[in-house]
Amino acid sequence: MIEFDAAAKSYAGQRVLGPLTLSIPQGGLCVLVGPSGCGKSTTLKMINALIVPDAGTVSTDGTPVQSRSPEELRRGIGYVIQSGGLFPHWRVRDNIATVPRLLRWEEARIAARVNELAQIVAIDGALLDRFPHQLSGGQQQRIGVARALAADPGIILMDEPFGALDPVTRASLQTELARLHRETGKTIVFVTHDMDEALALGTMIVVMQKGEIAQSGTPAEILAQPRNDFVRDFVGGDDAALKLLEFRTIENVVRHGVRISGDAIPVSTTLRSAFARMMAEGRTALPVEDESGLYLGIIHIDSLLAASKASCGA
């Protein structure tokens, strides 16, 4: 649980952030999203006290971050930055071991943990003895994630971690981050300016504008009910309806009926994939089966349209 209570920050008399009140639940993957200069990174850095608010408080698990020494606080919070920020004079192995060494773990325990982390972030063990510059951008970012996870912190902060990667590498790291989040149950705060990345990853999205929260909520809420024009534009205007289809499955749209010809789609298919399938096949109805391959019924394009309209309008 991370809580901002009226936290604000000014530089040279110019208010850049807040007052910001926000609560990020335990185990959530909260994405702070917005254009450059909206204060999303500033918000993130208040959590590990790299930036100290002029007014208000930020607390993790009920303890104000200012009540602890910055070093102690930060060793308990994973931190990943855009460039990776790996120490160029240390081998990958030592980069991953940074926080455990600061916490004075025994070397045997550190070595075991490093090997374990290499598996978690899917890095070949042979890379552990290389230097950061010998790795690709994607590999460096995996090492950055491994370093953040090393001492098993409850909170991970990620500041545009995939911003500098090519689209393919970025998509694969997004998938792995989502998996990592499911498997570890850590609270992750993720900063990006890419709304699609936010929608792909977040369990909670905070759209920021000019140092304030424009809207926060689940991806579906933000897409379905943008609070103002800024949010509406940021989620893609009319495209939001298309994006929203990603967040619902056809489960409640299936109608019972006589089996029609063609390959059946599983009931866990998203509305979006079902639409895509219809377009690709040039059909207005598709057969549906459950996970075990049992025939369930059909979906018709009219029900898809009705369902999409319902989720948009609500």
Partner 1 sequence: MRRVDFHSLALLLIFAALVLFMQATAPLFHWLFPDNPRPVFLRASFLELTLAHAELVLVSAGAAAAFAIGIGVFVTRRAGREFLPIVGALAAIGQTFPPAAVLALAVPALGYGEAPTLLALFLYSILPVLEATIAGLHAVPADIHEAADGVGFSPAAKLLRIELPLAAPYIVAGMRTSVIIAIGTATIGSTIGALSLGSPIVEGLAAENTPYVIQGAVVVALFAILVDRVFEMLERRLAIPSRSEWPASQPRPAAAVAAP
Backbone angles phi, psi at 255, to 5 degrees: -110, 145
Closer of 38 and 96 to partner 1 (Cβ)? 96
Only segment of 82-90, 195-203, 215-223, 281-289 that touches partner 1 (CB under 8 A): 82-90
Integer Cα distance of 58 and 128 in angstroms: 36
The tokens 């901002």 sit on which residue?
4
Please compute, for residue 166, the number of CA atoms within 13 A of its CA located in the half-sphere on the CB side: 6
- Left, alpha or beta for 192 (phi > 0: left; psi -120 to 50: alpha)? beta
Other residues' Cβ atoms within 10 Å of the Cβ of residue 195: 24
Q: Which of residues 37-66 bind partner 1 (CB under 8 A)?
A: 48, 50
Minimum CB–partner distance for residue 50 and partner 1 (Å)? 6
Do the strands 265-266 and 77-81 form a parallel or antiparallel pair, or are they unpaired? unpaired
Closer of 131 and 247 to partner 1 (Cβ)? 131
Only segment of 1-9, 125-133, 167-175, 212-220 that touches partner 1 (CB under 8 A): 125-133
Closer of 74 and 300 to partner 1 (Cβ)? 74
Residue 131 interacting with partner 1 (CB under 8 A): yes
Residue 167 interacting with partner 1 (CB under 8 A): no
Minimum CB–partner distance for residue 152 and partner 1 (Å)? 14
Closer of 173 and 299 to partner 1 (Cβ)? 173
**Contact indicator for 156, 149 with CB cutoff of 8 Å:** yes
Q: Tell me which residue of 55, 49, 44, 98 sits closest to 69, measured CA to CA.
A: 49
- Name the strand (E) or helix (H) holding 214: strand 212-217
Identified binder of partner 1 from the candidate list 20, 46, 92, 99, rule CB under 8 A: 99
Instruction: Give the interface with partner 1 as residue ranges (CB under 8 A).
Output: 48, 50, 70-75, 79, 81-89, 98-99, 102, 131-134, 147, 157
